[in-house]
Amino acid sequence: MSQPYERYLQEILIDSETLQNRVVDLAASINEDYADTRRLLLVCILKGGVMFLADLVRHITVPHSIDFMAISSYGDGVRESSGRVRIDMDLRQDIADKHILIVEDIIDSGHTMQYILSLLETRQPASIRICTLLSKPSRRLVPVHLDYVGFEIPDKFVFGYGLDLDELYRNLPFVGVCKPDMQVGDDC
């Protein structure tokens, strides 16, 4: 039987096995780079980063804690970044003197990450690095230095593995390309 998401799916861009293998590689780099680090805090950007974080931490062996921030930069159903960024949920803890690793689903224009960085930097952490599952370099409007990148992808709208299609299908185990100009209807 066909699945509801199939009418929006043009192609699978990154399959589940490739994602999982890359997550293991990224965790290995993180384990190496933070081997001697105390007070490592992974800050997951909700909601898109949640699948990635959950898989990543299962392979991170250095002691760390996790926390969450919810940010929105896209309106429902809108596929372009507005450049306007809003905090829906802030961190509950003080990050002064902590080593921060931001875990994000995708860097597109860079506006969201620039905003998060400028905000967190004012709180005097010991360091801040960025780990993103996906990056669309051709879409960048503001430069952002990325420390760990899972995959660089072309300028296509993708969904699955944490990324939503109008809030749906974050649960898919792969990253798929959405057919151009498809909107999720009220029937879904």
Catalytic residues: 108
Classified as helix, coil or strand, 48 is coil
Gap between the Cα atoms of 100 and 76, Å rounded: 29
For ligand IMP, which stretch binds (CB under 6 A), given 10-18, 21-29, 61-69, 104-112?
A: 104-112
Could you tell me the two tokens for 118?
């400028």
Report the residue from 14, 69, 106, 128 that binds ligand IMP according to the rule CB under 6 A. 106
67 or 83: CB nearest ligand IMP:
83
Residue 148 touching ligand IMP (CB under 6 A): no
d(CA 169, CA 152): 21
Q: How far is C-alpha 132 from the geometric centre of its chain's CA atoms?
A: 5
Q: Which amino acid is at 123?
A: R
| Binding-site member from 14, 34, 41, 105 for ligand IMP (CB under 6 A) | 105
For residues 73-102, which are near ligand IMP according to CB under 6 A?
Answer: 73-74, 81
- CA gap 75, 166 in Å, rounded: 9
Which residues here bind ligand IMP, judged by CB under 6 A? 48, 73-74, 81, 104-112, 157-159, 163-164
